[in-house]
Structure 1
Amino acid sequence: MSRYKLTLEYDGRSFVGWQRQNNGLSVQEVVESAAFAFCQRSVVVQGAGRTDAGVHALGQVAHLDLPGTYAPERIRDALNAHMRPHLVAVLMVETVDDHFHARFSATERMYIYRIINRRTPLVLESGRAWWVPDPLNVQAMATAAQYLLGRHDFSTFRASGCQAESPVRTLNTLTVTQHGEVVSIVARARSFLHRQVRNMTGTLRLIGDGRWTYSDLRYALAARDRRAGGPTAPACGLYLTEVRYML
């Protein structure tokens, strides 16, 4: 058996998420079905991030084991052919050793959350960003984001169904920038709690529209209670953009 690392992108709107579920089609199922069509053997594809329904990826990483040895380009082209017409694409395939694991070998994950801040509704960007029609104070959001950096108990920003053993995480990066009408929130950490980025984004939006102060954010973080936090931002604006590994 040979192990291969896949880098993928997908439009999350058509899927119940990355992970196989009983209530609909997942990205994992699409990739595994394509792998079966390629090698005529059942293959388990392990992903680096379990993105939710509606969440997109520009740089999801996965690995799979295949019988025999193949040129990476052949695997890439075969999987892409078998995945049509689903909106999933393998961007790159690399040969890796048996110790590599897409999820457990990862040292950092990066997400970008996209907000489009304008009065008029979205058309071409519908389903690919969060439309916020009221003006946002992006500088205030950027300042507030700094309170969340570092190692904290992020229970306030953790989904009720989160299965992580500990709510403590170290947030390496959380920036808020604006280019025209697009507000981008970039988050980097070794790992995140379930819906952590979306819950932090929903809370930062409250800062941006003036409903919350910095003191409100500090209180919410210290409360360690999801009920103290802001709303969950919609899935459509979130993108898994990069997963890093030790060289």
Structure 2
Amino acid sequence: MPRYALKVEYHGRPFAGWQRQADQPSVQGAIEDALAKLEPGPHTIAAAGRTDAGVHATGQVAQCDMTRDWDPFRLSEALNYHLKPLPVAIVAAARVDDDWHARFSAVERRYLFRLLMRRAPATHDAGLVWQVKQRLDPAPMRAAAAYLVGNHDFTTFRSSICQAASPVKTLDEITIEALDGVSGPELRFRLRARSFLHNQVRSIVGTLERVGAGAWSPEDVRTALEARDRAACGPVSPPEGLYLAGVGYPADPFTTDAAT
């Protein structure tokens, strides 16, 4: 059966997360339903990451196995037709080897987190950013983030229901960019690692927000990390500012057959 990689973009607000659920809408379920309109099912797809309820994606990657030998562009167009009007889009599709796997072949995940700083309610960016009412100072936040880069036991920054076998992860990069967004001043956090623990990004961003607000010092973040205790974590940021922005593979599956 031909296997295809799908690059997926979605707005997370209407969904209970990526993973298919029996009684709630999911992104996985929406795509599998669309696939069933093209070929008889059942269809079961896999993704590079299982995003939580309310989390968005601009670069999620999934795989599907088909009976027919589809042209990748035609497959993406057909799926997009059947996904309407849901806020899910297949932005690229590519034929891949039968042993390629969206999750297990990945060597990197990249997340973006958007934080809007303004008092008036967000309108155009409502549901797409975490909004705080005060200005945050990015300089101490960057100093705090530096303590988190590298190989660490991230027990403090993982959900209590995380199912990962080990809390030890290598965080390759955290950058914090201050810019003038469409709705006002924003901070954009970019995090990169081979893999992440459940709620790790939201726990880190929520803790760094406390530093930017002056409630924590950068050294407090180092102390929290070294505590290896979930109780030492700062507040967990809400999901609406988080985006799965990209997934890296040894060879990009979309460079040759990608639909554009």
Report the TM-score range of the alignment, normalised by the length of the smaller protein: over 0.9
State the distance in 2 between where 1:14 and 1:23 align.
Answer: 13
State the distance in 1 between where 2:40 and 2:78 align.
Answer: 12
State the distance in 2 between where 1:205 and 1:23 align.
Answer: 35
RMSD of aligned residue pairs (Cα, Å)? 0.8
Aligned to 1:13, the other structure's residue is in SS state coil
- Quote the residue 2:67 is aligned against: 67
- Quote the residue 1:105 is aligned against: 105
Aligned to 1:112, the other structure's residue is in SS state strand
One-letter amino acid of the counterpart of residue 243, structure 1 = V
**CA displacement at 1:177 relative to structure 2:** 1.1
One-letter amino acid of the counterpart of residue 241, structure 1 = A
Aligned to 2:89, the other structure's residue is in SS state strand
- Quote the residue 2:6 is aligned against: 6
Percent identity over paired residues: 48
- Quote the residue 2:30 is aligned against: 30
Aligned to 1:81, the other structure's residue is in SS state helix
State the distance in 1 between where 2:218 and 2:27 align.
Answer: 38
Q: Which moved more, 1:120-129 or 1:198-207?
A: 120-129
- Quote the residue 1:125 is aligned against: 125
TM-score by length of 1: 0.98
Count of residue correspondences: 247
- Contact 1:16–1:23 (Cα < 8 Å) also in 2: no
State the distance in 2 between where 1:66 and 1:22 align.
Answer: 23
- Quote the residue 1:15 is aligned against: 15
Moved over 2 A (4+): none
State the distance in 2 between where 1:74 and 1:5 align.
Answer: 13
- Contact 2:57–2:245 (Cα < 8 Å) also in 1: yes
Alignment partner of 1:94 is 2:76: no
Alignment partner of 1:222 is 2:226: yes
- Quote the residue 2:255 is aligned against: none
State the distance in 2 between where 1:9 and 1:214 align.
Answer: 34
Aligned to 1:127, the other structure's residue is in SS state coil
C-alpha deviations, 1:39-62, integer Å up to 9, x for none?
Answer: 122111101010000000000000
One-letter amino acid of the counterpart of residue 143, structure 1 = A
State the distance in 1 between where 2:119 and 2:88 align.
Answer: 32
C-alpha deviations, 1:8-66, integer Å up to 9, x for none?
Answer: 10000000000012341100000001001111221111010100000000000000100
- Quote the residue 1:136 is aligned against: 136
State the distance in 1 between where 2:139 and 2:99 align.
Answer: 44
State the distance in 2 between where 1:124 and 1:214 align.
Answer: 33
Identify if the C-alpha distance between structure 1 residues 89 and 139 changes in structure 2 by more than 3 Å, giving closer, same or farther. same
- Structure 1 residues without counterparts, runs of 5 or longer: none
- Structure 2 residues without counterparts, runs of 5 or longer: 252-260
State the distance in 2 between where 1:123 and 1:76 align.
Answer: 31
